[in-house]
């Protein structure tokens, strides 16, 4: 068998175990830790942006301050999108590892 098995095609004990593993992994991916990761990544970018804006205010150069304000808005949005990408990537990695583990177990049982 060279493809992933569906959970409902497994015998009952294996189906129950696979469902428990899937539920556990799905919970881990949707847990608050990932949202905390998004918040940390976004916060680091916002702190960086705030430092740049603070330097702009100290120079009292209005043109530079305007450009720093635009810079702050743009990079705030970039920080949010990077947080979302980080979340999606982490979710993909965890779910892929689970599917590969099930696939290898099915290969061992076939031999």
Q: Give 63-92 pLDDT, tens digit per residue.
A: 666 676 777 777 777 777 777 777 777 767
Q: Give 20-61 pLDDT, tens digit per residue.
A: 666 665 555 556 666 677 777 777 777 777 776 666 666 666
pLDDT in the model for residue 2: 42
Residue (of 50, 45, 46, 41) closest to 68 by Cα position: 50
* Residue 7 falls inside a structural domain: no
* Residue 88 falls inside a structural domain: yes
pLDDT in the model for residue 1: 44
> What predicted TM-score, i.e. pTM, was given to this entire model?
0.37
* Residue 77 falls inside a structural domain: yes
Q: Is the pLDDT of residue 102 over 70?
A: no
Into how many domains does the chain fold?
Answer: 1
Domain enclosing residue 85, as ranges: 32-110
Compute the residue count for the chain: 111
Cα dist from 2 to 23, 68, 108, whole Å:
24, 55, 12
Instruction: Tell which wins on pLDDT, 38 or 109.
Output: 38
């Amino acid at each position: 068998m060279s493809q992933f098995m569906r959970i409902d095609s497994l015998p009952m004990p294996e189906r129950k175990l696979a469902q428990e593993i899937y539920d556990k992994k799905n919970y881990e991916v949707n847990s608050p830790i990932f949202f905390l990761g998004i918040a940390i990544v976004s916060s680091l970018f916002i702190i960086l942006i705030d430092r740049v804006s603070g330097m702009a205010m100290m120079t009292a150069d209005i043109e530079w301050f305007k450009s720093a304000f635009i810079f702050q808005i743009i990079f705030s949005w970039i920080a949010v999108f990077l947080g979302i990408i980080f979340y999606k990537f982490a979710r993909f990695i965890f779910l892929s590892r689970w599917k590969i583990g099930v696939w290898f177990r099915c290969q061992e049982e076939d031999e």
